Amino acid sequence: MKLKKQVTVCGAAIFCVAVFSLYLMLDRVQHDPTRHQNGGNFPRSQISVLQNRIEQLEQLLEENHEIISHIKDSVLELTANAEGPPALLPYYMANGSWVVPPEPRPSFFSISPQDCQFALGGRGQKPELQMLIISEELPFDNVDGGVWKQGFDISYSPHDWDAEDLQVFVVPHSHNDPGWIKTFDKYYTEQTQHILNSMVSKLQEDPRRRFLWAEVSFFAKWWENINAQKKAAVRRLVGNGQLEIVTGGWVMPDEANSHYFALIDQLIEGHQWLEKNLGATPRSGWAVDPFGYSPTIPYLLRRANLTSMLIQRVHYAIKKHFASTHSLEFMWRQTWDSDSSTDIFCHMMPFYSYDVPHTCGPDPKICCQFDFKRLPGGRINCPWKVPPRAITEANVAERAALLLDQYRKKSRLFRSNVLLVPLGDDFRYDKPQEWDAQFFNYQRLFDFLNSKPDLHVQAQFGTLSDYFDALYKKTGVEPGARPPGFPVLSGDFFSYADREDHYWTGYYTSRPFYKSLDRVLEAHLRGAEILYSLAVAHARRSGLASQYPLSNFALLTEARRTLGLFQHHDAITGTAKEAVVADYGVRLLRSLVNLKQVIINAAHYLVLGDKETYHFDPEAPFLQMDETRLNHDTLPERTVIQLDSSPRYVVLFNPLEQERLSVVSLLVSSPRVRVLSEEGQPLAVQISAHWSSATDMVSDVCQVSMPIRLPALGLSVLQLQLGLDGHRTLPSSVRVYLHGRQLAVSRQDAFPLRIIDSGTSDFALSNRYMQVWFSGLTGLLKSIRRVDEEQERRVDMEFLIYGTRASKDKSGAYLFLPDGEAQPYIPKDPPVLRVTEGPFFSEVVAYYEHIRQVVRLYNLPGVEGLSLDMSSLVDIRDYINKELALRIHTDIDSQGAFFTDLNGFQVQPRRYLKKLPLQANFYPMPVMAYIQDAQNRLTLHTAQALGVSSLHDGQLEVILDRRLMQDDNRGLGQGLKDNKRTCNHFRLLLERRTLGSEPGFFSKLAAMFRDLIFHSSRTNNLEVQDGHTSSYPSLLSHLTSMYLNIPVFALPVAKRQLPGPGLRSFHPLASSLPCDFHLLNLRTLQAEDDALPSAETALILHRKGFDCGLEAKNLGFNCSTSQGKDHALSQGQVLNH
């Protein structure tokens, strides 16, 4: 009691000081002369000053219950702490609901005004080219442009170059897909190795020759198979500028579905390989084939010290607009950048494709005549029926004039007299004859053109950086600087159409099974990197490195390269042939198994109380994983922990950099189970049945779930015993709704079960934050009511089916060409519903013919309890030309605006454009999408990349899977018929805005500080139409996404006879990192021996920008924020976004 009184008195004193401080602050604000100069609107007379001050104080005092409430909570928490750390023991209410008492520890969280500075920034000059605005204003017509079908006629005067010669750089290149029609290995064996072998000999024949290469994955494989003499020749070619490695990534990645962890990782892997083996550092980016472009890539390239980049696959209407306004070259700036620190110079290729017919100029019929691989007698020809002719003394003048005309026309689309002309295509230059045909014929043309001063042209072979260097020199700026008069652009280039209404929006969802497996591998790689780095550092410091399997580094390297390979723009996109997809799948699974081994070995070492006893035995691992996959195309099966008289131990790994409170669920062999903490304290657990189908309980397996507080980046130990603790082993109850179907439901005595044959009444689940209503008929979500609100918010779900067109052009792996609006999904039978209610979670499972939909509500304070956990197990293998969608309807007044993330790194506002076809309004969703109005925001978080849209106000719609029977004529030659049973995992978060009509105390406080700090900035980024081109998730949304994408790893101890004290929890951090910091990776770098680690580790940190306008009180966070400061946490890279 004494402590209670002390804390209460202390809290009251704090409150008094707070109110008095606010009074003084208001006094300062009223009399601050700078406020008057900055446009503050204050009364002049003493009476009105006093009146104004009193009114504000009254308003603050009216709302002081929030402070009192926080003080009261703190008193309760401190008192609970003082009386010992009891377990979270829920109790059952008379109304049938479970209540979990407040946590016995402080979890007060408040946002500092400084935290809001980044999201409220953007006070710099707006870019001239904002893609959001351009898309709204462009007509997107498709007028026939003549020879340049998607453009216009280009005219020029021969005297345009009298003052300054046209400088032409022809850039030979070969685009090598690391898997598409053939597997990576087959492409290498049959084509790529021959291209690179010929490159070495042919470039050495003439120092004027140049060549461009992008894919380090192929280059590294080739490097392993060539001799030292050839390696030395390659280094010379790189050194003298004849060979340029562009971008330097492991692959040329897809930019729609890839997560920024994987994008950075494949970039590091490629750059480190180049530095070690070639001593080369890429200067320019080259992305000719990704199907649309994200601004995340230019940001990463700029941070990797590249100064220039090139893109190609942009919507034809945007290309035409940029060409007509001389905007094809621009400084690409991040939407959230308030100055030019993120700028990178970007060149957009103007025409249809990166092949030779579409790169020399606007007329493909003429350009094709200068692709000398197509000389008569070869395997390919020109579709325009006019073949190339070898260049001779007799025809060189006529041929050079024809080519120069195309060069001149193309140059009129740009602002400088330096011209880039790529010369290549997919897997080109694979035979010596092609090298000879291209280089000899072009050199004759160059020699002729350069010998005629009256033509005012200088033409030569060049690399991409040769071109950019010449442009910078001509415009008088340093490499990477903005040339005078060139525009600045912000935004992205999604969604892409290459002709007519053929939008490449299908690949955002194609083959979702592997999109999900990609994210699983990513989470395992990050976890393995962190644990391996920590374990190796500890072992070396303790003199135990000889006992630790340092050789696991080779497994890490292989997994990095596998994840990198899968970021390729025909891999994660789901746009490769079936056999190639299977090859990717085998690689992904092999790396996943290897990473589990790395995690097991590191966790084993780190949890041992006595590290001297560590013994690495690959034949008998100390730990096992919680799940296994039998094949690359099957869903995981969870490990069942067999219980008997001996205790079993489980090690839990939290890969997050913040402490987390999560429900951990394990499968065990008996419902009679007790769970103890490391200290031997019994934990409250929820016991649930394990089901093999809608109506069949598994007799000898059940699920035990318990809330666990896990240390940041740490390992905890649990003990499982056979036995029953009536107070702490809490069974869950089950209701099964059969809707009139004659089905037998199996029972177990341990689990109360009620069968409802024909009930259709709506029902609700609830926790401390919300009450969630479901349809008794469909089992799907209907509405959410916050506990402190009277009104329910409509959040209802439905499944929909899209067909494809009856015309010649149909949906395929790339294209989404629906036959109209989606139609409701109508199952043959009504669904079986299963409702489970328990102390720590409750859930509704709806079994449909093609979908099993699960919505789970956790009854926990903090992140877990504030959102709905949802999963959709989809199986559409009996569909023909159909796509399955999930649509969420709300009463949010979104006004045609919605928001999707780019690569999990930033958020891009979108607007539904009625002038465009339905399929054009879909966008990639790697981690989240949301809609909002002045009061609420609804965010759908996803654990796998999928296509998303908002086709009507208040709606969010996601495509879950696609089954299509035909090719869509983009070169693949197959449909999408290899569907798998796929589980899509989501979190649905409904948040309330604090800047609405009745802002709370802390909102006003934050707004007051905002006014003091940013006199002219806008504080509300709600509406796209107001010119806001950036938006941010809330801090809660960021953490929700982390919980979803970075799950807890449960590692059962394989050996049963182990004394408890032998294992100890591992806490690598003295305290959690700030809530807005994310430890992206802790990546051990390789030593000179590729298979072993060096003593160096790369720490990559990301500080996240977040929207302060969403409610941030009573969220149960146990971490602070960085308060807008660059913390010197390490010498690692801080991704300031």
Is residue 524 within 8 A of residue 530, CB to CB? The reply is no
Cα four-point dihedral sign 991, 994, 995, 999: positive
Residues 6+ apart with CB under 8 A from 372: 388, 390, 434, 437, 438, 441, 442
Q: 663: closest CA among 941, 862, 524, 834?
A: 862
Helices (H), 992-1063: 1001-1013, 1035-1045
Is residue 813 within 8 A of residue 835, CB to CB? The reply is no
953 labelled catalytic:
no
For β-strands 733-737 and 753-756, DSSP reports them as parallel
Assign 723 to helix, strand or coil. Answer: coil
Residue of 115, 177, 254, 289 marked catalytic = 289
CA 133 and chain centroid, separation:
24
Residue whose entry in the numeric block shows the structure tokens 């990301």: 1102
For β-strands 832-837 and 841-847, DSSP reports them as antiparallel
1049-1079 burial by CB neighbour count: b if 16+ within 10 A, else e?
A: bbbbbeeeebeeeebbbbebeeebbbbbbbb
CA 645 and chain centroid, separation:
46
The percent helix, strand, coil of the chain (3-state, each to 5) is 30, 25, 45
Phi first, then psi: give them for residue 253, nearest 5 degrees.
-75, 155
Long-range contacts: 581-586, Cβ < 8 Å, 24+? Answer: 581/511, 581/514, 581/978, 582/632, 582/633, 582/978, 583/179, 583/183, 583/184, 583/185, 584/179, 584/514, 585/514, 585/517, 585/632, 585/633, 586/632
Q: 106: closest CA among 656, 653, 659?
A: 659
Total residues found in the chain within this entry? 1137
Task: Compute the distance between CA of residue 350 and CA of residue 1080 in angstroms, rounded to an integer.
Answer: 36
Q: 1006: closest CA among 929, 886, 1106, 1098?
A: 1106
Task: Compute the distance between CA of residue 118 and CA of residue 1031 in angstroms, rounded to an integer.
Answer: 11
Assign 548 to helix, strand or coil. Answer: coil
Task: Compute the distance between CA of residue 529 and CA of residue 1099 in angstroms, rounded to an integer.
Answer: 11
Give burial (CB, 10 Å; 0-12/13-18/19+) of 947.
buried
Angle subtended at Cα 1036 by Cα 69 and Cα 1136, rounded to the nearest 5 degrees: 125
Is residue 556 within 8 A of residue 1084, CB to CB? The reply is yes
Task: Compute the distance between CA of residue 996 and CA of residue 36 in angstroms, rounded to an integer.
Answer: 27
DSSP for residue 828: S
Q: How many other β-carbons are positioned within 10 Å of the β-carbon of residue 100?
A: 20
Amino acid at 800: L
Task: Compute the distance between CA of residue 1089 and CA of residue 557 in angstroms, rounded to an integer.
Answer: 12
H helix or E strand, kind and range, residue 196:
helix 193-205
Structure tokens at 46: 């003493």
Sheet strand arrangement including 1077-1086: 1077-1086, 1093-1103, 1133-1136
Task: Compute the distance between CA of residue 948 and CA of residue 989 in angstroms, rounded to an integer.
Answer: 16
Residues 6+ apart with CB under 8 A from 379: none
Catalytic residues: 289
